[in-house]
Structure 1
Amino acid sequence: MAASYACAPMCKPILFGYAHLYVLRVTFSVVTSNVEAFLSEVARGLKPRADQLTAGVVDLVRSELPELWKYEDLATAVPVAVSGHVIAVLDLNEHSLDVTKVEALPAAIDVARRFARHGVPINKLLRSYRIGHAGLLQLICDEAAHLTSDTELVSATVITLGAQSFEYIDRTSEQAVMAYQEERDRWLQRRLILINEAGARIGTTLDITETAQELANVSTDRFADLAIVDLLDSAFQEAGVEPAPVSPVLRRVAQHSVWDGFPESEGGTGQKHTYPEESDPARALATGQPQRLRTTTSDIPGWVDVSPDYGRTLRTFGVHSILLVPLQARGNTLGLAQFLRHRTTDPFDDDDLLLANEIASRAAVSIDNARRYTHERFTALTLQRSLLQQQSPEQPAVETACRYLPCGSRAGVGGDWYDVIPLSGARVALVVGDVVGHGLHASVTMGRLRTAVRAFADIDLIPDELLTHLDDVVIRLEREEAQGTHEISATCLYAVYDPVSRLCSLASAGHVLPAVVTPSTSSGDAPTSCDVDFPQLPIGPPLGLGGLPFETAQFEVPEGSLLVLYTDGLIEDRARGVDTGLGLLREVLARAPTSLEDTCDRVLSSLLPSRPSDDVALLIARTRTLDSGQVATWDLVPDPAIVSETRRHASEQLSAWGLEDLAFTTELMVSELVTNAIRYGKPPIRLRMIRHTTLTCEVSDNSSTAPHLRRARSFDENGRGLLLVAQLAGNWGTRHTREGKVIWAEQQLPAIGIPLPHL
């Protein structure tokens, strides 16, 4: 610092302060009047050489503060400001102006603002002022020494210039500092606004691609001219991201430009690429450290050439500054964000790098949240779809079509399900249910309840008894949860349709009732509309409450009717009530009937034009009827003598159906089942044979005692009949009714098969 102010031996009194200056000024008071005239003469003489003075001062500042010249705009603006200072000082002395009224020049204010924008410390700004004025003072003193040999006049001139310089520097630097602070505050405010905007605009969804695009959009608002987001390909495939390999595969997921049409972004999104091992992006990914790069049009790194058009376009637009910021969250590197400038003349500085790193860190957490949510949602959805019935089993009672739509909200996949379960006697069970809640827990609970329903259906429980047992299952599952961390609640509708009697028996555990669609009066060959009814039947409590009864209701269903089962997400929404949803559903179902698949699509598109806010399960079944030619029934007296006659009836019926090959096994099974009913059951006793996809023999009586298999000993005279039936039948079982029980046995039809009835 002392060297900067050493103008000449005669300049040293300047350093003694104002007190010394005052004494010296008194000492040289005799020549004071001559000093102003002399300084005016010196200033007039120097004015034609103002450019030389400016160059000398600029060289001095550059040698003392070379770091300023790395900023291109400062390298251009500083000489302009110095030139203005030189002219101002010369004018001040030439015209003997009042230095206390000096104002900082616009060029100097501009330089101060540029210092602030680049984050150059304020002490550098003040030092540049001191160095510049000391250099100018040195040049003026040298000129004064050349113009006169009067040492007293020269000394007085130096003293006057020193006092003038102190006042000039104080006033102009004070104004420059104020401009610097204003610009710095404005820059910090812009930075705070940008950070706040990033917090508000990034992470509004739980979609990985949309979150990355939000980062790119925010970054091009008053920060970068082009923003690019690449994510590791593994981030889309795994629950946890492994450390980035040497040459990781990245996927370009987002980019945004300050110019419409993204002319400098012709690389496009969705493409996969890798960066060379020794490239700057590869190092940033490997080390996790952000990087700031300067480049020129002719020296753009080769790694930008992810595609020929992309690299060529960046060179055309003249990218000059690049930030590479790894996206890191929870200890994992997810990808890389690139920020580029080409239209903005200022290059990125260290403060910009810190700002970009902060924005990218926030975005990385949101991307990781979206990635984790997407993975969990995919897992839950995969689990749920694996548990749901993919293809309805072949059975004669109904034709079905079904749909499952996961919700489109952040809540995740829910616990909605449907099922079609073939039952004995050509009947079918139609099930639809909803587990309260979302996510993996809801999907797993749904799988448990669906399995339980199938197990209870396999033993042919009537609907209200099945729901009672299912209610116990829910209560038991809730008790088994670790300290009640999850409260389990669910609804279920269980319906059984019998194609022989055309009766539908159902019970509801807190679930919405189905719609019944029957063809109305038709004009010509096809019906033009349908009647839609929502049966007013009892609805029991939701599953999991316990202690409350369920009730089975029955109603007759005409042949060719539709049974429409669904979860509440189909008709209920935040924007509409249940009554409105039911009205829309009635309108859709009342239209002329089409295929079941088309009907499902029409229902969903009409009631759910956008992604649903809750999961939706939809099951539509068109009823079939077995005609009298496919069913044979005999009422039997409880007399063992009737067994031989029953065998004969069965044999004759098989002949009528063309199933003589099954006569032997059928007669044997009928004989054993009827004998057991006469011996252990209660009248009335009835035999029914049903021909559909299989041949079913049923014997019913009014006893609730169920038979069971047992192993007969060598000398036992009975106990082998039911075991024999089990060996001969493909399937057999017992179902209980309100009055008693039915024992049934099924056999597969011969290979030629029997076609299903057509409506």
Structure 2
Amino acid sequence: MTDHGGLLGTGSASWGQPAELVLDAAGAVMTCTRPVPELLGGSAGELRGRELKSFLEDPSAWAELTEGTEHGRRSSGRAVLRRAGGGRVDVDVSVFALTGGGEAHFLVWLVPAVGAELEDELGMRVALAGGGVLASSPRAQQRLDLLHAAAVRVGGSLDVARNAEELVDLLVPVFADLGAVDLTEEVLAGEEPGELTADTSLRRVAVAAGEGLWPGEVYALGERFSIGNVEREHLCRGSVGIMPDLSGLRRAAARDPQRSRLTLPEAATSFLALPLRARGTVLGAVPLWRTGDRVPFDRGDAALAEEIGSRLALGLDNARRYTRERRTAEALQRSLLPPPVVRLTAAETAGTYAPAGTAAGTGGSWYDVIRLSGVRVAFVVGKVAGRGVNAAGAMGRLRSAVQTLADLDPPPDELLSHLDDLVTRIGEDEGHRAASTVGSLHGATCLYATYDPVTGQCLIASAGHSGPIVVRGHDRVADDVELHPGPPLGGGTEPFEPVELLLRPGDVLAFHSGPLTAMTRSTERDLERTREGARTAAGTDRPLGDVGHRLLARLREHDREEDLALLMARVDRVPADHTAFWQLPADPSLVAHARSLVSAQLADWGLDELGFATELIISELVTNAVRHAGGPVGLRLIKDHRLVCEVSDPSQSQPYMRRARLSDEGGRGLFLVAQLAHRWGSRYTPGGKTIWTEQPVGSS
């Protein structure tokens, strides 16, 4: 092996490792490591359920050892163990009280004391093991402290890189002089680890040097590299490899500079390679080096590293799974949101989604921009309860419901009333499901606003949601819109009260999802940055997408407990000469006059090619209004990317299209309108209803 610079495997010997037991509150064995049966005698199955004090020559010593133990503190002492098969052995005992509230109550380590002779079989094993495994007591205690520190510090974070940093900071310089952690790209991305090959890409995610800087001749922090066949073989084998003498490795590295950068710092005198495996897959490796005249790595060091590495591997895999869950929730969340930048005649918008610092806060915030009839637009922002994919799925259902209701074009307060009824009914129909899926909709908040660029009117209503920030373009002063929010969705106890604003070109509205709970310092900081972004966007021609991009970068400077959705809208107006309005009495003879008015206006706008179809549409709609609704009849044209025709009347009876039979004298008017227009529909107004159509203008 040394001819090609390979590693020496540790074999199967485990004697000399600290014997580790997990006990319940009564002191009974729940689980134990491999050295325990060798030390106490019998099998692991026979030991399980027995109280540890039954092995003590003086059972009262157990009470002394556990007296005064607190979470994170250690109680130590010396005791005499009676082996199940006969014989006695002096041991150093360390007892730790565990946190977490589970059945496990104590973590116990047993280390044979120096000079103790085990009778019968145990004594022979000690003699065969030799002094290289059972070190002195200033060394056994050091290993015990290292294992305890690993139990407390390693693997507890849900951040992959943080777990790796904790390990090297723990091992260097106490256990090694140089250390690094190399992980596959799949682990870092939260994906399932694939098959490890010689070309598999690894990244060095953590390094530590006992003295000075990290050596430049080996791969540095953040570098990517691939492993060779020899290293792949060792990692896939799964056992710790040690090289007390690096002469063979130096000869091999002289022929292969890549291997030198991978495994051979100039100052190194011995090397240990710790594979990181979890659930049968290779996650990466931990290379460790000792330098100078320090004692080379031995099999006892390998056993200790393997014990610590197993904790890290499990922690890394848990962090990887957590990363995958979080990224899945974020990806689902983003896929359900509209494009970040939307440009309409009514407004230019920029949406921003800032995920939470943890998966527990991701998945509930959302925004939307909905194009309404008559070149109007709706702005929506909200937040649902819950977390992860459940909250993201509930958000998608809520957003779809809002879009469906918006297509009917009701006022904001009426839309929220319908949405509240819908959430209440969903909760009743799905009451048998888990609260995590149903509760996401119940108690959700939503703010709905409509803006008309012809009049500048903005109507806003809220279901448990805080109001937007408005910045006037002429002075760039940011104010909070004062609302009287109704209850969150699903409450169904109070009506929703709308608020009206008059906006001018260049004014900016900034909507934010806000917290479901009380305001925090993080939330206040986010809102202040939102105000700064809105002030930057107001009254300028600077693209709103650029402002949103910079705002997102600032929002990502700090972690937040809950995700945040922001929507900025810089409003505009339709030029006055792009609209025309007439009010006509309910006189059938004026239908021809209405056609003449429309034809002349289209000619003035240079839209003669739309004249024939538009005259037919106006003729049908005005005739229906005069015949079925009475007067006065309002007629409005809006020139935009599409030509909008609107006919208003005082009746609130909604029209519907039907297929007329051959024997019917009427009933074909709306069918004709639908064939001539790109889109058509009807909406209620305070004084009746408005039927509208849209026709493409030019190439739009």
Tell me the TM-score normalised to structure 1 length.
0.69
Q: 2:461 aligns with which of 507, 516, 539?
A: 507
2:477 is paired with a residue whose SS is strand
Q: 1:642 aligns with which of 570, 583, 590?
A: 590
- Deviation of 1:720 (Å): 0.4
Residue by residue, what CA displacement relative to the aligned partner does 1:549-584 show, whole Å, maximum 9, x if unpaired?
A: 222222222232111111215998633675x87677
Structure-1 separation of matches of 2:506 and 2:263: 65
| Pairing 1:664–2:616 present | no
Letter in 2 for 1:466: L
Q: 2:393 aligns with which of 441, 444, 449?
A: 444
In structure 2, relative to structure 1, the CA distance for the partners of 1:628 and 1:318 (3 Å cut) is closer
Structure-1 separation of matches of 2:527 and 2:413: 25
- Deviation of 1:587 (Å): 6.5
Worse-superposed segment, 741-750 or 461-470: 461-470
Q: 1:380 aligns with which of 329, 353, 357?
A: 329
The equivalent residue for 2:18 is none
Structure-2 separation of matches of 1:119 and 1:341: 27
Q: 1:737 aligns with which of 660, 681, 685?
A: 685
| Pairing 1:282–2:232 present | yes
Q: 1:543 aligns with which of 489, 492, 505?
A: 489
The equivalent residue for 2:662 is 714
In structure 2, relative to structure 1, the CA distance for the partners of 1:267 and 1:393 (3 Å cut) is closer
The equivalent residue for 1:234 is 186
Alpha-carbon contact 2:189-2:320 (below 8 Å) kept: no
Q: 2:297 aligns with which of 348, 351, 358?
A: 348
The equivalent residue for 2:503 is 557
Q: 1:296 aligns with which of 227, 238, 246?
A: 246
Worse-superposed segment, 647-656 or 310-319: 310-319
The equivalent residue for 2:19 is none
- Deviation of 1:385 (Å): 1.8
- Deviation of 1:494 (Å): 0.8
The equivalent residue for 1:697 is 645
- Deviation of 1:502 (Å): 0.9
Structure-1 separation of matches of 2:265 and 2:247: 5
Q: 1:367 aligns with which of 316, 332, 350?
A: 316
Residue by residue, what CA displacement relative to the aligned partner does 1:566-610 show, whole Å, maximum 9, x if unpaired?
A: 1215998633675x8767765765578442345446766777753
In structure 2, relative to structure 1, the CA distance for the partners of 1:702 and 1:214 (3 Å cut) is same
Alpha-carbon contact 2:354-2:552 (below 8 Å) kept: no
In structure 2, relative to structure 1, the CA distance for the partners of 1:404 and 1:241 (3 Å cut) is same
- Give the percent of matched residue pairs that are identical in Structure 1 and Structure 2: 41
Alpha-carbon contact 1:634-1:688 (below 8 Å) kept: yes
The equivalent residue for 1:482 is 433
Worse-superposed segment, 240-249 or 486-495: 240-249
Structure-2 separation of matches of 1:495 and 1:719: 36
Aligned residues: 571
The equivalent residue for 1:426 is 375
Structure-2 separation of matches of 1:506 and 1:560: 19
Alpha-carbon contact 2:377-2:451 (below 8 Å) kept: yes
Structure-2 separation of matches of 1:371 and 1:470: 38
| Pairing 1:683–2:631 present | yes
In structure 2, relative to structure 1, the CA distance for the partners of 1:560 and 1:724 (3 Å cut) is same
Structure-1 separation of matches of 2:179 and 2:159: 19
1:560 is paired with a residue whose SS is coil
Query: Matches of residues 47-66 of structure 1 in structure 2 within 5 Å?
Result: none
1:750 is paired with a residue whose SS is coil
The equivalent residue for 1:225 is 177
Alpha-carbon contact 1:395-1:693 (below 8 Å) kept: no
2:609 is paired with a residue whose SS is helix
Query: Matches of residues 179-190 of structure 1 in structure 2 within 5 Å?
Result: 184-190=136-142
Tell me the TM-score normalised to structure 2 length.
0.74
Structure-2 separation of matches of 1:305 and 1:211: 35
Q: 1:198 aligns with which of 141, 146, 150?
A: 150
Alpha-carbon contact 1:507-1:553 (below 8 Å) kept: yes
The equivalent residue for 2:39 is none
Alpha-carbon contact 1:570-1:616 (below 8 Å) kept: no
2:350 is paired with a residue whose SS is strand
Q: 2:215 aligns with which of 244, 260, 263?
A: 263
Query: Matches of residues 128-139 of structure 1 in structure 2 within 5 Å?
Result: none
Alpha-carbon contact 2:190-2:322 (below 8 Å) kept: no
- Deviation of 1:694 (Å): 0.8
Alpha-carbon contact 2:177-2:210 (below 8 Å) kept: yes
| Pairing 1:319–2:269 present | yes
| Pairing 1:332–2:281 present | yes
Whose radius of gyration is greater, 1 or 2? 1
Letter in 1 for 2:347: V
- Deviation of 1:253 (Å): 2.6
- Deviation of 1:728 (Å): 0.5
Alpha-carbon contact 1:212-1:253 (below 8 Å) kept: yes
Residue by residue, what CA displacement relative to the aligned partner does 1:518-572 show, whole Å, maximum 9, x if unpaired?
A: 134xxxxxxxx42332232221111233344222222222232111111215998
Alpha-carbon contact 1:491-1:511 (below 8 Å) kept: yes
2:370 is paired with a residue whose SS is strand
Worse-superposed segment, 192-201 or 363-372: 192-201
In structure 2, relative to structure 1, the CA distance for the partners of 1:482 and 1:572 (3 Å cut) is closer
1:733 is paired with a residue whose SS is strand
The alignment's C-alpha RMSD in Å is: 3.4
The answer to which structure has the higher strand fraction is: 2
Structure-1 separation of matches of 2:509 and 2:576: 23
Alpha-carbon contact 1:393-1:422 (below 8 Å) kept: no
In structure 2, relative to structure 1, the CA distance for the partners of 1:310 and 1:572 (3 Å cut) is farther
Structure-1 separation of matches of 2:188 and 2:289: 26
Structure-2 separation of matches of 1:214 and 1:696: 64
Structure-2 separation of matches of 1:124 and 1:317: 40
- Deviation of 1:349 (Å): 2.7
Alpha-carbon contact 1:392-1:420 (below 8 Å) kept: no
1:519 is paired with a residue whose SS is coil
Structure-2 separation of matches of 1:302 and 1:460: 76
Letter in 2 for 1:365: L
Residue by residue, what CA displacement relative to the aligned partner does 1:289-322 show, whole Å, maximum 9, x if unpaired?
A: 22333323354474799855944993632422x3
The equivalent residue for 2:47 is none
- Deviation of 1:499 (Å): 0.8
| Pairing 1:519–2:497 present | no
Structure-1 separation of matches of 2:228 and 2:454: 73
- Deviation of 1:334 (Å): 1.4
Alpha-carbon contact 1:245-1:286 (below 8 Å) kept: no
1:411 is paired with a residue whose SS is helix
In structure 2, relative to structure 1, the CA distance for the partners of 1:204 and 1:575 (3 Å cut) is farther
Alpha-carbon contact 1:298-1:315 (below 8 Å) kept: no
- Deviation of 1:382 (Å): 1.8
The equivalent residue for 1:455 is 404
The equivalent residue for 1:147 is none
Query: Matches of residues 152-171 of structure 1 in structure 2 within 5 Å?
Result: none
Structure-2 separation of matches of 1:608 and 1:239: 23
| Pairing 1:616–2:568 present | no
Structure-1 separation of matches of 2:283 and 2:523: 43
Letter in 2 for 1:456: L
In structure 2, relative to structure 1, the CA distance for the partners of 1:392 and 1:225 (3 Å cut) is closer
Structure-1 separation of matches of 2:228 and 2:654: 76
